[in-house]
């Protein structure tokens, strides 16, 4: 019999992803009378197979601006061992993305607006709508079981994660199901836009739960829960352009005074090639509702334009953002205005 040949595995994938940006905004956030560098962010990606059904992913990131604090930071973004047993059944473990909604799955590089997730970049770094179980960069330590079924039309993801509060409290559970009705959308990762590569109509639902996961104002705690739904529609047009519409809704069960509901809608249009790329204007509106009478109703509006030289791999952006966070002690609106310019480049 002929000698068996050793299994040849694909080469390791490496990549570098970079975003740089600047903001016109004053010390009084209502005014546009000052300028600063607001983004200098990089991710280093590496991954590959060590067995035909076992892979490894290691992603690092560094932020020269330190979320606007001026102090550089560096961190492990992903550290995953991947058991890919079948298209319909994968087990990934380590420090990895929490599967819950489209925004968290796509991250800043694969969504149309420059601001990720949105409101945090133009007035106050509140992050009040992100649960503690979704750690920095939407990641946490845990295990996710996921798979693509029904001819890659349906993807399910279910995970259990460290709560970050010690062994005496309950774990954090999260899950998501998405259904692609036109072109397929398989895989663990996600996009908030396919930048003209696909005709996409995809609907997703997700949820999170942690027992005693939300502290109350009186010092006790209650269970934390969240459910959400989102839809993405993207359609190619004659001449090389495309249109995008996206919407999402979130409902939360948290302590009194905490977040009750939030939602956003987005609309964008990309032209055919003009020069070396596509021109893409867009608008996005977000709102947040807090529990209790007399609570503020924060909102954010972004209007921007992108020049897509190579889709998400090389693009330039300019954005105007308006944020309203509520009222101060005198009843005056707490608002912020910002004009931002950004560029991102991805080397796969």
pLDDT digits (tens, 9 = 90+) for 46-105: 999 999 999 999 999 999 877 556 678 899 999 999 999 999 999 999 999 999 999 889
Residue matched to tokens 């005074």: 257
What pLDDT was estimated at residue 222? 77
Of the two residues 308 and 297, the one the predictor is more confident about is: 308
What pLDDT was estimated at residue 289? 83
What's the CA gap between 63 and 71, in Å, rounded?
9
User: Looking at residues 270-298, what average pLDDT do you find?
Assistant: 89
Kindly tell me if the per-residue pLDDT of 318 is higher than 80. yes
Ranges 1-15, 46-60, 174-188, 257-271: which has the least confidence: 1-15
Q: In this structure, how many other beta carbons lie within 10 angstroms of the beta carbon of residue 148? A: 21
Confidence of residue 2 (pLDDT cuts 50, 70, 90): low
What pLDDT was estimated at residue 192? 94
What's the CA gap between 232 and 265, in Å, rounded?
10
Cα-to-chain-centroid distance, residue 276: 28
Kindly tell me if the per-residue pLDDT of 162 is higher than 50. yes
Contact of 175 with 157, CB cutoff 8 Å: yes
User: Looking at residues 320-331, what average pLDDT do you find?
Assistant: 81
Domains of the chain, first to last: 13-347 (2.40.160.10)
Take residue 63 and report the two structure tokens written for it: 């932020």
Kindly tell me if the per-residue pLDDT of 4 is higher than 90. no
pTM > 0.75: yes or no: yes
Rg of the Cα trace of the chain? 21
pLDDT tens figures, 103-127: 889 989 999 999 876 554 444 434 3
Residue matched to tokens 């059944």: 89
Confidence of residue 218 (pLDDT cuts 50, 70, 90): low
């Amino acid at each position: 019999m002929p000698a068996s040949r050793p299994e040849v595995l694909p080469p390791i994938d490496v990549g570098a992803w970079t975003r740089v940006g600047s903001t016109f905004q004053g010390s009084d956030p209502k005014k546009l009378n000052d300028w600063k560098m607001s983004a200098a962010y990089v991710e280093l990606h590496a991954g590959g197979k060590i067995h035909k059904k076992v892979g490894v992913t290691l992603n690092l990131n560094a932020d020269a601006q330190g979320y606007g604090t001026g102090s550089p930071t560096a961190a492990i973004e992903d550290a995953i061992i991947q058991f890919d047993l079948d298209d319909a059944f994968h087990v990934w473990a380590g420090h990895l993305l929490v599967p819950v909604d489209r925004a968290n799955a796509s991250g800043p590089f694969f969504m149309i607006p420059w601001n990720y997730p949105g409101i945090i970049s133009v007035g106050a770094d509140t992050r009040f709508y992100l649960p503690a179980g979704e750690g920095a960069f939407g990641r946490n330590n845990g295990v996710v079981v996921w798979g693509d079924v029904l001819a890659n039309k349906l993807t399910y993801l279910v995970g259990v994660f460290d709560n970050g509060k010690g062994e005496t409290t309950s774990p954090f559970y999260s899950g998501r199901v998405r259904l692609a009705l036109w072109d397929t959308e398989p895989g663990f990762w996600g996009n908030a836009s396919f930048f003209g590569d696909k005709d996409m109509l995809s609907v997703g639902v997700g949820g999170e739960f942690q027992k005693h996961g939300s502290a109350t104002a009186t010092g006790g705690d209650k269970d934390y829960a969240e459910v959400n739904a989102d839809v993405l529609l993207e359609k190619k047009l004659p001449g090389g352009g495309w249109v995008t519409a996206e919407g999402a809704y979130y409902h939360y069960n948290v302590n009194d005074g905490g977040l009750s509901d939030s939602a956003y809608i987005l609309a964008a249009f990309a032209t055919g090639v003009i020069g070396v790329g596509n021109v893409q204007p867009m608008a996005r509106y977000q709102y947040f509702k807090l529990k209790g009478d007399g609570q503020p109703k924060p909102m954010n509006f972004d209007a921007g334009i992108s020049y897509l030289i190579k889709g998400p791999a090389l693009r330039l952006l300019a954005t105007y953002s308006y944020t309203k966070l509520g009222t101060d002690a005198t009843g005056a609106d707490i608002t912020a205005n910002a004009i931002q310019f950004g560029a991102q480049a991805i080397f796969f």
